[in-house]
Structure 1
Amino acid sequence: MTPPARFRMERNALLPLVVLAFCILPTAAVAWWTPVLLLVPAAIAVAVLRRGVDVTDDGITARAVLGSRTVTWTELAGIRVGARGDLWLVTAAATEVRLPVLRTHDLPRLAAVSGGRLEIPVAPAGSRPPAQ
Structure 2
Amino acid sequence: MTVPEVSRLVFRIPATAVLGALLFAITATPFAWAAPGLAVIYVVPVAAIAWVLRVRTTADRERLVARTLFGRHVVPWSDLRAFRVSERSWVRAVVEDGKELPLPNVRTRHLPALSLISGGRLADPTEDVEDAEPVPVPSAPAEEPREEDAE
TM-score range, shorter chain: 0.7 to 0.9
Which contiguous aligned blocks of 4+ residues in structure 1 show a shift greater than 4 angstroms?
A: none
Q: Distance in 2 between matches of 1:24 and 1:67?
A: 29
* Cα distance, 1:3 vs structure 2: 5.0
Shift of 1:69: 0.8
Contact 2:8–2:59 (CA<8 Å) still a contact in 1?
Answer: yes
Shift of 1:14: 2.2
1:121 Cα deviation (Å)? 2.3
Q: Provide the alpha-carbon RMSD of the alignment.
A: 2.0
Please give the alpha-carbon distance, in whole angstroms, between the structure 1 residues aligned to 2:11 and 2:104.
9
Question: CA offset at residue 50 of structure 1?
Answer: 0.9
TM-score (norm 1): 0.84
Cα displacement string for residues 4-62 of structure 1 (whole angstroms, at most 9, x for unaligned residues): 42211122322321221111111222344222211111101111111110113331111
The answer to which of 40-49 and 11-20 deviates more is 11-20
Q: Distance in 2 between matches of 1:51 and 1:43?
A: 12
Say which of 116, 122, 125 aligns to 1:121.
125
Report the secondary structure of 2:58's partner residue.
strand
Unaligned segments of structure 2, at least 5 residues:
1-5, 136-151
| Match 2:96 to one of 57, 71, 92 | 92
Q: Which of 71, 79, 85 is the aligned partner of 1:75?
A: 79
Aligned partners of 2:134, 2:117: CA distance in 1, in Å?
Answer: 27
Match for 2:43 among 21, 39, 44? 39
Which stretch shifts more, 115-124 or 34-43?
115-124
Letter in 1 for 2:88: R
Structure-2 separation of matches of 1:27 and 1:18: 15
1:62 alignment counterpart: 66
Contact 2:112/2:125 (<8 A) preserved:
no
Instruction: Decide which of 24, 27, 34 is 1:23's aligned counterpart.
Output: 27
Deviation at 1:112, TM superposition (A): 2.5
Q: TM-score, normalised by structure 2?
A: 0.74
Partner AA of 2:41 in structure 1: L
